[in-house]
Structure 1
Amino acid sequence: MTAPVLVTGGTGTIGSRVVPMLRTAGQEVRVLTRRPGKSGPGITHVQANTVTGEGMDQALVGTEVVLHLAGGAKGDDAAARNLVDAAQATGVEHLILVSVTGADTMPISYFRAKAAAEQIIAGSGVPYTIVRAAQLHDFVLPVIRAMGRLPLLPKPGGLRFEPVAVDEVARRLREVTLGDPAGRVADIVGPEVLTVRELADVFYEETRRRHRVSLPVRIPGKIGRAYRAGDNLAGDDALRGSRTWRQFLAASTGAGVKAA
């Protein structure tokens, strides 16, 4: 591959890991950001907005592969549509989308937008690869930390996660970016399925904090039923990383990350 790979969200949590991995593999990278960025050897920053579509055609000109990592609480479906329009106009040969495990089964707007983005990419006519990932350790940590500040620890019944290390997700994305289009591939998730109470217990042990009394909570409605059914969890064919929640916390606290 001689043309640069364009990475949207290249300065984010996953992107900041993937971009150096692509460079180590000898790949030129073009990073798409909404604000001007500093370019360096083998890395060029271009300015565009995936949600509004502003500057997208110009950003994709001369690229053959696009790794789409940019996302947020809203607008993922609009961003996917703008990306597809630009990819079709500029002759992109491979679109890679990172999505979320349970995108098509969880009745939550964030998941639904991810599912819509998947459908837009898959129906674009541009060869594609879709990788679903579980919640990153980095995203679970502030939730558990915030819950630990409460007088009683909420214990939502049936709420389970399989958090995954960001570097393991990044390595998988590097692999598919340098490979051929493969459609929807196996999810990448962590090695454990843990309840909120289990996540909190390990957090308390690793940060040497006092355990809190749990307060049982039942999540109502469709969302509660979906979580209790495990609709946010991957199937047996998922790729499972090796880094555990405890290992992540041990490394984080060892690096000086505050517990609260």
Structure 2
Amino acid sequence: MASPILVTGGTGTLGGHVVPLLRASGHEVRILSRSPRPAADGVEYVTGDLLTGEGVAAAVAGARTVLHLAGGPKGDDEAARTLVRAASRAGVRHLVHISVIGADRVPLAWMRAKLESERAVAESGIPWTTLRAAQFHDLTLTMVEKMAKLPVFPVPGGLRLQPVDSREVAARLVELTLGGPSGLVPDMAGPHVHDLAALARPYLRLRGRRRPMLPVRIPGKAGRAYWAGANLTLSGAETGKRTWERFLEERLG
């Protein structure tokens, strides 16, 4: 019997695209989930928590490939270390990890946690692959929706985003997972770079709303990093094809 591919974060936005692709390729999939779920359609669920370590050893047992997609606002570094320890003991042969463009350049706490997660994977002794991706369209939409609820739409000066479609990132991750360990691979970004005003305009148009735009300043080192484009990869990246405008039309209709 072939060993299952363990996916952490398999019930999230990215995992929701990755898991069906892995199943379509003929692989059994095991998902580490914080909530109990019954097995279905060739997918097994193991209850566990990467922050406490509960259930993680059972999740990695018998898996030769682990795809680490789980992430949150904090604690990603500790979660990665917990997973790495269990995977090393279980004899995992390929650890695939999703990170974020700018993890090594933008001085924010959650970016530092992402970088520490990368280091935990790279220093684990397990053959590994890490893909850094730009902000997903889905998360960009959540941000724009929240800002559009304000009477004035804030536009941070110097902030540019290169949003990428999560379905395209999922397809790339599956390709990497089914291939051999590759280390740090080229980043994956969207087809266009936008400032926040350019992201907001098509959203507001589709929603039939108007908002005045108010330039604001991002202070400190983070502001300087964004002005310098530290969160972007303008050359050498794998580039998705689905644009922000197309995503909005599909999502908002």
| TM-score interval, smaller chain | over 0.9
In structure 2, distance between residues paired with 1:145 and 1:43:
33
Q: How does 1:22-61 map to 2 (within 5 A)?
A: 22-61=22-61
2:220 corresponds to which residue? Answer: 221
**Secondary structure at the residue paired with 2:230?**
coil
Structure 1 position 13, deviation (Å): 0.6
Q: Give the letter aligned to residue 31 of structure 2.
A: V
The reply on whether 1:200 has 2:193 as its aligned counterpart is: no
In structure 2, distance between residues paired with 1:49 and 1:146:
29
Structure 1 position 203, deviation (Å): 1.1
Q: Give the letter aligned to residue 38 of structure 1.
A: P
1:99 corresponds to which residue? Answer: 99
Q: Give the letter aligned to residue 171 of structure 2.
A: R
Deviation string 1:139-167 (CA, Å, 9 cap, x unpaired) is: 11121112112121112111000011110
Q: Give the letter aligned to residue 225 of structure 1.
A: R
2:68 corresponds to which residue? Answer: 68
Identity over the aligned pairs, expressed in percent? Answer: 52
In structure 2, distance between residues paired with 1:157 and 1:151:
19
1:158 corresponds to which residue? Answer: 158
Deviation string 1:183-217 (CA, Å, 9 cap, x unpaired) is: 0001111101000010011212233322x221111
Q: Give the letter aligned to residue 88 of structure 1.
A: S
1:184 corresponds to which residue? Answer: 184
Q: CA RMSD in A?
A: 1.1
The reply on whether 1:252 has 2:245 as its aligned counterpart is: no
**Secondary structure at the residue paired with 2:52?**
coil
Q: Mark the runs of 5 or more structure 1 residues left unpaired by the alignment.
A: 255-260
In structure 2, distance between residues paired with 1:15 and 1:39:
16
2:143 corresponds to which residue? Answer: 143
**Secondary structure at the residue paired with 1:40?**
coil
**Secondary structure at the residue paired with 1:57?**
helix
Deviation string 1:95-130 (CA, Å, 9 cap, x unpaired) is: 011001100101111110000000010011100000
1:257 corresponds to which residue? Answer: none
In structure 2, distance between residues paired with 1:158 and 1:100:
19
2:236 corresponds to which residue? Answer: 237
TM-score by length of 2: 0.97
1:80 corresponds to which residue? Answer: 80
Q: Mark the runs of 5 or more structure 2 residues left unpaired by the alignment.
A: none
**Secondary structure at the residue paired with 1:3?**
coil
In structure 1, distance between residues paired with 2:96 and 2:109:
22
Q: Give the letter aligned to residue 3 of structure 1.
A: S
In structure 2, distance between residues paired with 1:150 and 1:41:
43
Aligned residues: 253
In structure 2, distance between residues paired with 1:78 and 1:205:
42
In structure 1, distance between residues paired with 2:12 and 2:232:
24
Structure 1 position 235, deviation (Å): 4.1
Say whether the 8 Å CA contact 1:206–1:246 is kept in structure 2: no
In structure 1, distance between residues paired with 2:245 and 2:208:
13
In structure 2, distance between residues paired with 1:151 and 1:204:
13
Q: Give the letter aligned to residue 177 of structure 1.
A: T
**Secondary structure at the residue paired with 1:32?**
strand
Q: How does 1:127-138 map to 2 (within 5 A)?
A: 127-138=127-138
Say whether the 8 Å CA contact 1:30–1:44 is kept in structure 2: yes
**Secondary structure at the residue paired with 1:209?**
coil
Distance 1:252 1:83, change over 3 A: same
**Secondary structure at the residue paired with 1:14?**
helix
